[in-house]
Every structure is written in C-alpha cells, then in structure tokens.
Structure 1
C-alpha cells in the first residue's frame, strides 16, 4: 500500500486487536444538504501556491456545485442551469473531476459537460454557451434522460481528456477538453451479458429498456488506463488513448455477479430469482461506485455495505477494506497524496440529507 495511505491506517492497528474492518474517523464534515440539493461526488483542487487554501468541490445534483475549504466550510454554491423551456429538465450536476485549474462536471439534466475555472475563492462556470449534448442528438432526446452520468478527467498522450458514462446505458465516451468546451471523439459499449464459469449466459437485471450503467471512474495518467465501476457488475480496467479505448478487462466483480434476478414492476426493483452461484468477487457489495487512485493503490466504494476497498492497482489484489465513521452508501471519492494528503468521500445518508466527509492524513 502506498506509504501515506498505509501510515493513515497504522493507528487503527495499534489500539488493540485488529478489527475485521477498521473504522476511520473523519477530520471534518461539510454541512448537510437537503432536497432538492443532493450531494453526490467530490473532487479536490490543490492550490499550487498554498496547499492550505486548496478547495474541495462537490456536486449537488439539482442543487448545483458546491465549493468547500479544507475545514469543510462552504465557500460557495453554484446553481445548475434552469430548464431551457417550460416543462424541460433542469440542470442536474452528477459527477465532477479536476484537471489543472479547471473542473469538469457532468450535467445529467441537460446532457452537457460543464467547465468551471477554479481558484482559492471557489469556482466560476466558464462553459461555452454553444456546447452540445454529449449523447443526445436533439434537445427532445435530452428529455429522455439517457444522458451524461459518471465522469473522470485526465491527461493522456499530451491531451486533456474527459471520460463520461451514459445514464441507464453501458456506453462510455471519450472527449477532448479544450478551453471551455469538450468534443466527443470515441465511444465504447461495455457488456450487459456475461458467460459464467459454468458456461451459462447471465444478463444483468435492470428496468426494461435500460442497461447496467457505469458511474465511478478514474483515469490513471501514469499508465494511460481508465478504471470504471459498472454498478451491478464490478470494476473494469480499460487502456486509454487520446483517440479511443482499448480492450476492457473486468478485474473484480461484485458479490452478486452471476446471480439470477428478475425485475419486479410493482416494486420497480430487481429481486433474486435463484441462489447466488458464488461466481462473483468477495469484496464489493453492489453497487460498485466511487473510484480514486493513491499512487499504487485503487480505492473503491462498496456502496451496498458502506465500506471502502483498497486494491494493489498493478494486479488488483485486495489489500484491505475499511469504513469511515458515519459515512453511509458513498457514491464518490477523491484522494490527493503529497503536500496535502486528503481523502474526501460522499456521505449518502445523514438524518436530514447528504454531504461530504474529509480525512486528513
């Protein structure tokens, strides 16, 4: 495990018997956000002049985008766009990532990638007003809400790129990021049906007309690799070039991978339709969610049981799992190691809403 992360966990092992799943206490938490604001995904902007004046960003869905200082205090909240016409969907900010002094936000409501300029005072929306929908060919198609969802940003082959997934679909898209706009250059469709070790075919259960979507993603700039969490499937490792994707490899599955399920129209949920055959992984309880990289370690949110799993990135060997005190059903996470040494995670279930938790090492 990378040394700063390992050192952060050492105190957990010095106070008596090692718990099966250690618990880390946050050093700060943000305010609680209530509907229509709904916290989802964080990203960390490191101030190059003064790291203690760095900024954490967090999406709030229809509540927009929030900026926080390192003590979790709110610096500003930047509203999502209003509906362009009566009856249309408003902006809905789902995921965020930082690249240099820009933040890229997936606007699920309007199927756009929004661009923000970030400094120690917060964020400013600089999106090109003429930016086009990513997946929808018309504004009418936007209203079907099969729109941008998860997001990761990085630098690959000397180019600034953004990868975004499509809500209720298996598609992910690669975009070039230039100034205040993005341009789609390639797409990849992940599978929704798999061949099990016993030779049978297994199709992921979803609502009719939908596919098993991806949300949590992170780009490993050192190896030009995308890690993508397909919620009811597991974690994919995908070679990434500036003009497209390589062959995806499923490197860990959720525990229920391969379990027969059927959709119940009355509850609008997928329910077990047979025993778990045991073909899935041992560490992730669906949904597989937020991903972030700490040097040679990949951290993943096991949302179904509110744990985080640390993998050795090179071979995806699980190193340890842990919980964060009072953090439930986490969607997103971001980590920065070095001068700042900060982990930020989404807290998906507070008494009156949602928020974010900070852990300083």
Structure 2
C-alpha cells in the first residue's frame, strides 16, 4: 500500500489541530544502491542479507521483484543473478547446516497461499528453486523464518493479506522439502512485515494501520498477540511495513520498523520494546528512500563501508529509474541516534 509523501502529511497536520505531526528524524546517507529491478511501477519489495564470514566483501543481498522474480546482488549493489518467479513478495533466509535456505511468500495463487523455497548457492551467487508449497487458503503476503534454538528446527511464518498468520514447519531432511502448517494466528486487519528473534523465540508482526504485535513463536504456545507499539502518527506512521532486528546479548538490541507513511524508520529498544528513536535515509550522493516496504538488517563486519552491520531498505520511488534497494551502514545509524 502506497502512503502519502511526508510533505503531504505535514500539510495535513497544518490544516487541522487534531492531526499529529511525525517526530523529527535525522538523515542517514545511503552508502550504495542496487541495480534497479526490471519491472516498472510498484515491483521491488523485500530484501534479505547473507553475510560471508570468511570474506565479508563477498556477502550477498537478495531482493524480490514481486512482478517478475528474485535477484541476488553484491555489496556494491550489482545484480549477480536473477531467478524468474511469478509473484514473490517477502523473503527471508537462514543457514541450516551447510546450506543457506531462502523462503519467499508466493502470491501467484491468490486463493491459496504458498511458500517458495530456494537454496542460495553462495559461490555462484544464485538461488536454486526447491519448490512451491501450499500453506492454506488466502493470499500470501509477509514471510519470515525462525530457527528454534533447542533443536535447530526450521519454521516459517506466512502473513496473509487479511491478517492471518500461518506457521509452517519446514523439513529439509529428505530428498525434497516437506512444508506442514502447524498453527494459525490472527490479527484484525491487513498485515505484512514480520521478523523472529532466534534468541528469544519472539515473533514480531506489523499490522499496517494499527501497530506492532508480539507472539510466542513456538508452535505449542498460545496464539494470543501482545500489543507492543501503536501507529500513533508521531513515532510510527501508517503504513507500518518491514521489520528487522539488531540483536545484542541474550535479549537486548533493537527492533526496527519501516514507518512508511512518513518515509522514516523507527527503533524500539529490546527486550521491553520501548521507543528509542527514528531516522530517514537521505542526504548523501545517493538518493534517499521513500515508501519503504521491506527492510533487513544484519550486524557484524561487512568490510570498511559497513564495519558494524548492514541495513538494506526497499526504495519505493527511485525515479527516473525503477525501484531498487538502498544500503546503509548500521554504524551511521548508531551515530545519528547516539545509540549505545
């Protein structure tokens, strides 16, 4: 869903005293950007990051074109490969043993949600399809993965457009994957962005016009949602979209949300999920971001440009080119917000 530009929101705030003004946010410059996707209009959607521990300069970024397929990019933003697929929306990845598995929400069948699985060939910088698997009735929208700490079992969460969240168990032990729906949860209205904290087993989901919610990710847990942050028009502006984590220690760090309605990104301090600040991407040699759908964040050394981590954000308006993804140093965000 496309939101009003930030300038329009400001004008609306001037016209009525009842409309809150978004909290100011410092600019953080993008360090690099990807090649634009091939499809025009609203096409690029969600990224995922793989960090190469042996050679951080050879780390990879995956990005979906929800009208054509899925790309693999270098840290310089160069497109290294493309895998055609009809309608992939959100993507996430996990390392399982010697393999890197990517999972994407598949919207090709709007009546039945699917998840598409891939192996990321890190040497060839290419995604190898493993198949499409039905999840349940409805249109697939958001997607995130979770590796359970106690047994390394892999689970996926597919957020349907109507707010239902289907949890699937992903079994990769056989010749072909098995994907089994193990439980469902529900939010009241349209939702998409999600992320799971592998350390704590907490699932975070963005209900676009309402706010952020937390669930226990274990399939044996209750399906009750806990509200953790509201769309208030100040710190978080609808649509609330992509979510990402910057973990620290056993349960600390930050949850980052795309505040799409005013082209900003909001941080919440973990584990209590308290407001910690917000920023925008812009002000550098590379154009800034707006209308951001998906984001991803990974900490660690990615080389001199990203010494403490890499943030990737979809850019909804990369005119005159088609949409793409922007890269930002997490260290620059930390300095701008004076984070400890």
- TM-score under structure 2 normalisation? 0.77
Residue 151 (structure 1) aligns with: 143
What secondary structure, in the 3-state scheme, does the structure 2 residue paired with 1:41 have? strand
Distance in 1, matches of 2:196 and 2:327, equals: 22
Q: Alpha-carbon deviation of 1:112?
A: 1.6
| Higher percent of residues as strand | 2
Question: Following superposition of structure 1 onto structure 2, how do residues 273-352 of structure 1 map, counting pairs within 5 Å?
Answer: 282-295=234-247, 296-325=253-282, 326-340=288-302, 341-351=309-319, 352=321
Residue 213 (structure 1) aligns with: 190
Residue 11 (structure 2) aligns with: none
Matched, 1:248 2:225: yes
Residue 94 (structure 1) aligns with: 89
Distance in 1, matches of 2:222 and 2:74, equals: 36
Question: Following superposition of structure 1 onto structure 2, how do residues 163-312 of structure 1 map, counting pairs within 5 Å?
Answer: 163-167=157-161, 169-179=162-172, 180-190=177-187, 192=188, 212-243=189-220, 245-255=222-232, 282-295=234-247, 296-312=253-269
What secondary structure, in the 3-state scheme, does the structure 1 residue paired with 2:82 have? strand
Q: Structure 1 pair 245/97, CA: closer, same or farther in 2 (3 Å)?
A: farther
* Deviations 1:129-161 (CA, angstroms, capped at 9, x unpaired): xx542123xxxxxxxxx3211011011242111
Q: Alpha-carbon deviation of 1:109?
A: 1.4
* Deviations 1:33-83 (CA, angstroms, capped at 9, x unpaired): 232781000000122332211110001002200000001110011110xxx
Distance in 2, matches of 1:342 and 1:40, equals: 18
Q: Alpha-carbon deviation of 1:181?
A: 4.0
Residue 106 (structure 2) aligns with: 107
Note if contact 2:41-2:322 (Cα within 8 Å) is conserved in structure 1: no
What secondary structure, in the 3-state scheme, does the structure 2 residue paired with 1:163 have? strand
Note if contact 1:174-1:244 (Cα within 8 Å) is conserved in structure 2: no
More off after superposition, 299-308 vs 346-355? 346-355
* Deviations 1:290-338 (CA, angstroms, capped at 9, x unpaired): 1000011000110000000111022221111100011001011111112
Distance in 2, matches of 1:320 and 1:98, equals: 27
Note if contact 1:115-1:181 (Cα within 8 Å) is conserved in structure 2: no
Q: Alpha-carbon deviation of 1:213?
A: 1.7
Q: Structure 1 pair 69/307, CA: closer, same or farther in 2 (3 Å)?
A: same
Give the RMSD, CA atoms, in angstroms.
1.8
Q: Alpha-carbon deviation of 1:236?
A: 0.2
Note if contact 1:187-1:244 (Cα within 8 Å) is conserved in structure 2: no
Note if contact 2:25-2:278 (Cα within 8 Å) is conserved in structure 1: yes
Distance in 2, matches of 1:182 and 1:52, equals: 34
Q: Alpha-carbon deviation of 1:183?
A: 1.6
Note if contact 1:114-1:125 (Cα within 8 Å) is conserved in structure 2: no
The list of structure 1 runs, each at least 4 consecutive aligned residues, that deviate by more than 6 angstroms after superposition, is none
Distance in 2, matches of 1:71 and 1:323, equals: 21
Q: Structure 1 pair 241/21, CA: closer, same or farther in 2 (3 Å)?
A: same
Q: Alpha-carbon deviation of 1:244?
A: 5.0
Note if contact 2:195-2:245 (Cα within 8 Å) is conserved in structure 1: yes
Residue 208 (structure 1) aligns with: none
